[in-house]
Chain A
Amino acid sequence: DAKTTQPPSMDCAEGRAANLPCNHSTISGNEYVYWYRQIHSQGPQYIIHGLKNNETNEMASLIITEDRKSSTLILPHATLRDTAVYYCIVRPRTGTASKLTFGTGTRLQVTL
Chain B
Amino acid sequence: NAGVMQNPRHLVRRRGQEARLRCSPVKGHSHVYWYRQLPEEGLKFMVYLQKENIIDESGMPKERFSAEFPKEGPSILRIQQVVRGDSAAYFCASSPDLEPRPYNEQFFGPGTRLTVL
Binding site for B on A (CB under 8 A): 32, 34, 38, 41-46, 49, 87, 91, 93-105
Contacts and interface: CB of A to CB of B under 8 A. Distances in A.
Which range holds the interface residue count of chain B? 20 to 34
A43 B42 contact: no
Given A43-B1, A95-B98, A49 B105 contact: yes
B17 interface: no
Contacts of A101: 45
Given A41-B111, A98-B48, A46 B106 contact: yes
Given A95-B98, A100-B104, 5 more contacts: A43-B109, A44-B106, A44-B108, A99-B33, A100-B106
A99 B45 contact: yes
Interface string B9-47: 000000000000000000000010101000000111100
B15 to A, nearest CB: 24
Interface in B42-86: 42-45, 48, 50, 55-56, 58-59
A105 B103 contact: no
Contacts of B91: 43-44
Chain A interface, >50% SS class? loop
B93 interface: yes
A43 B110 contact: yes
B60 to A, nearest CB: 11
Contacts of A94: 103
A43 B108 CA distance: 5
B102 A49 contact: yes
Contacts of B33: 99-100
B89 interface: yes
Contacts of B108: 43-45
Contact of A93 (B42, B44, B58, B104): B104
B17 to A, nearest CB: 24
Contacts of B106: 44, 46, 100
A100 B110 contact: no
Contact of B103 (A41, A97, A104): A97
